[in-house]
Homo-oligomer: A and B are copies of this chain.
Amino acid sequence: MVYRIPDDGDTRQRAVCPACQTIHYENPLNVVGTLPFWGTDGEMVLLCKRNIEPRRGYWTLPAGFMELGETTAEGAARETDEEAGADIELLGLFTVMNVSRVSQVHLYYRARLLNTTFNPGHETMEVRLFTEHEIPWDDIAFKTVKATLETYFIDRKAGHFAVHAMDIT
């Protein structure tokens, strides 16, 4: 792979395969996931203990890279099924977070758990429900997960869930 400016009016260097000449545009990736909650007043949230690197052994919300042909909501529901095996009703978009240091955008949806039967996939060691005070805040895998959890409990206390756009540095 070599990097050069293509001959098509582009202004940036792109990765070009010296064998097949294909221009491989590299663009930011979307990570999509859910914040699954449980309880009469949504007082518990689901977290997954990661069984894979990076951040193996740390707790996360179910999330992963958005795939071709799906919507952000469909991707978020798919990841929730793959990582937690949880039955959910997907609700509204909740956080939109730029992580420009790694060229990613993370989007989380709120999701109502329909029951507490979980069936985690190979990427997850353990699935558990936590109240706000039980959450292992020092063992959360990613800043975007921590920000989404914190924002959830703030909005929950306020009695109103908005869409939150944030930059994570």
Minimum CB distance partner of A18 in chain B: B19
Given A73-B98, A165-B92, A103 contacting B17 (CB threshold 8 A): no
**Across-interface contacts of A29 in B (CB, < 8 A):** 27
**How many of these chains are in the complex?**
2
**Are A28's CB and B68's CB within 8 A?**
yes
**Across-interface contacts of A40 in B (CB, < 8 A):** none
Given A92-B165, A163-B93, A165-B93, A103 contacting B30 (CB threshold 8 A): no
Task: State A42–B167 Cα separation when bound (angstroms).
Answer: 27
Task: State A90–B25 Cα separation when bound (angstroms).
Answer: 27
**Is A46 an interface residue when CB atoms closer than 8 A count as contact?**
no
**Across-interface contacts of A1 in B (CB, < 8 A):** 17, 20, 22
Q: For the complex formed, measure the closest distance between the CB of A8 and the CB atoms of chain B, giving whole angstroms.
A: 11
Given A72-B105, A167-B71, A96 contacting B98 (CB threshold 8 A): no
Minimum CB distance partner of A99 in chain B: B71
Task: State A2–B98 Cα separation when bound (angstroms).
Answer: 32
Mask: chain A, 63-104; 1 = CB below 8 Å from B; 0 = not:
001111111111000000000000000001100101010010
**Are A72's CB and B93's CB within 8 A?**
no
**Are B27's CB and A103's CB within 8 A?**
no
Provide a sorted-by-A list of 16 A–B residue pairs whose CB atoms are within 8 angstroms: A1-B17, A17-B22, A18-B19, A19-B19, A28-B30, A28-B68, A30-B30, A66-B105, A69-B100, A69-B103, A72-B96, A72-B98, A73-B165, A93-B163, A96-B163, A163-B165
- Please name the 5 residue pairs, one residue from A and one from B, whose CB atoms are nearest each other, closest first: A19-B19, A163-B163, A71-B98, A93-B165, A68-B103
